[in-house]
């Protein structure tokens, strides 16, 4: 390709780099704004509130304790909002990477590929965030069972124990108001817990509902049932963690396969072969790039599918 033909591509790449720099500055500003908003939300925990340790037979710990419970209740919501905002903007990093490759290869194709990759990367980031949120909610449900058991063995009534443990752990999420209202005013607590169990990662609440139903109808010990439920949930989580640790080697293999083409391009550039110029400016290179990209995407998808099948099993 002649130098005259390369001038428009070089100008387009330089303009893309400037645009990406502006986007990076905007992303940094929005990130700081989100962090400041989260800090203001965390600092506004309200003290007091119904259903605390105060009340009949209480120990009078709702003054600062209520504020702590309010802060604990506000923290997951604020953190979730901030993480969601940041995760959505991390996909924009595909543009600077594409712009750098476009500038080095003197072609707009990497920038176009970066723009097309943004929705896919954003979807992957959102899926990873949802998976982390699901695991965090599952851990909070396990902690809720243990907290209720501790409060019951300390002499509290089931409704009071559930109210305090729910505020301490935040395991009920959006269904906290309905569950606590059912517990406080004599409603159908098992049904409210089953509705709360429909949240992603809150399956353990269905087991709590079953324990509550048996304790109410058959007079069985609620603390003993929840203790066994907590042990089961904890064992299940430990088993999942062990399986994930065993699959770390497989995920490392997938990562190596993903980085091999980039390593080959870097090696070619170090040897002076100019692989980007061949791939982006010749018909044979464009064909190889298209076929190689398709094979790379298919191989990564298939390898990740195999590993995720092992995780689900």
pLDDT band at 143 (very low <50, low <70, confident <90, very high): very high
For residue 72, the model assigns a pLDDT of: 40
pLDDT 10s digits, 11-37: 555 555 556 665 666 666 655 565 555
List pLDDT tens digits, range 92-123.
888 888 888 888 878 888 888 888 888 888 88
- Residue 295 exposed, middle or buried by CB count within 10 Å (0-12, 13-18, 19+): exposed
CA distance 205 to 227: 13
Task: Specify the range with the lowest mean pLDDT, choosing from 33-42, 140-149, 155-164, 231-240.
Answer: 33-42
Spatial separation of the C-alpha atoms in residues 84 and 90, rounded to whole Å: 10
Residue 40 pLDDT exceeds 70:
no
Q: Crossing angle of helices 3-42/94-105, nearest 10°?
A: 160
N-term to C-term CA, the chain: 53
Sign of the C-alpha dihedral, residues 63, 68, 69, 75?
Answer: positive
- Say if residue 136's pLDDT is above 70: yes
Mean pLDDT, the chain, rounded, equals: 76
Q: Can you give the pLDDT at residue 70? A: 45
Q: Domain ranges in the chain?
A: 3-246, 247-313
State the pLDDT at residue 3.
47
Question: What is the pTM assigned to this prediction?
Answer: 0.62
147 half-sphere exposure, CB direction, 13 A CA radius: 19
Cβ contact 80:86 at 8 Å: no
Confidence of residue 5 (pLDDT cuts 50, 70, 90): very low
Helices (H), the chain: 3-42, 62-90, 94-105, 109-153, 158-169, 176-184, 189-196, 204-218, 222-246, 248-270, 275-281, 283-312
Give the model's confidence band at 75: pLDDT under 50 very low, under 70 low, under 90 confident, else very high.
low
Distances (CA, A) of 23 to 11, 13, 32, 119: 18, 15, 14, 16
């Amino acid at each position: 390709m002649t130098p005259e033909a390369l001038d428009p591509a070089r100008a387009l790449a330089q303009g893309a780099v400037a645009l990406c720099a502006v986007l990076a500055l905007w992303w940094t500003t929005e990130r700081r704004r989100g962090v400041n908003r989260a800090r203001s939300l965390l600092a506004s925990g309200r003290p007091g509130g119904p259903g605390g340790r105060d009340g009949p037979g209480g120990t009078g710990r709702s003054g600062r304790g209520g504020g702590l419970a309010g802060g604990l209740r506000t923290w997951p919501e604020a953190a979730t909002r901030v993480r969601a905002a940041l995760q959505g903007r991390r996909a924009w990093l595909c543009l600077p990477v594409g712009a750098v490759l476009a500038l080095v290869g003197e072609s707009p194709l990497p920038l176009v590929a970066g723009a097309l990759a943004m929705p896919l990367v954003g979807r992957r980031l959102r899926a990873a965030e949802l998976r982390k949120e699901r695991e965090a909610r599952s851990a909070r449900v396990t902690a809720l069972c243990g907290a209720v058991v501790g409060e019951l063995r300390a002499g509290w009534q089931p409704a009071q124990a559930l109210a305090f443990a729910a505020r301490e752990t935040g395991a009920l999420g959006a269904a906290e108001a309905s569950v606590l209202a059912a517990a406080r005013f004599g409603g159908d607590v098992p049904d409210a817990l089953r509705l709360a169990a429909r949240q992603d990662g809150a399956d353990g609440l269905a087991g709590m509902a079953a324990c509550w139903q048996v304790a109410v109808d058959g007079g069985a010990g609620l603390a003993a049932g929840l203790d066994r439920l907590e042990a089961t949930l904890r064992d299940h989580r430990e088993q999942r963690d062990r399986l994930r640790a065993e699959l770390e080697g497989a995920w490392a293999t997938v990562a190596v396969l993903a980085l091999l083409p980039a390593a080959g391009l870097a090696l070619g550039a170090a040897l002076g072969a100019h692989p980007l110029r061949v791939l982006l400016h010749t018909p044979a290179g464009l064909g190889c790039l298209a076929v190689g990209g398709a094979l790379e995407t298919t191989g990564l998808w298939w390898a990740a599918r195999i590993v995720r099948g092992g995780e689900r099993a």
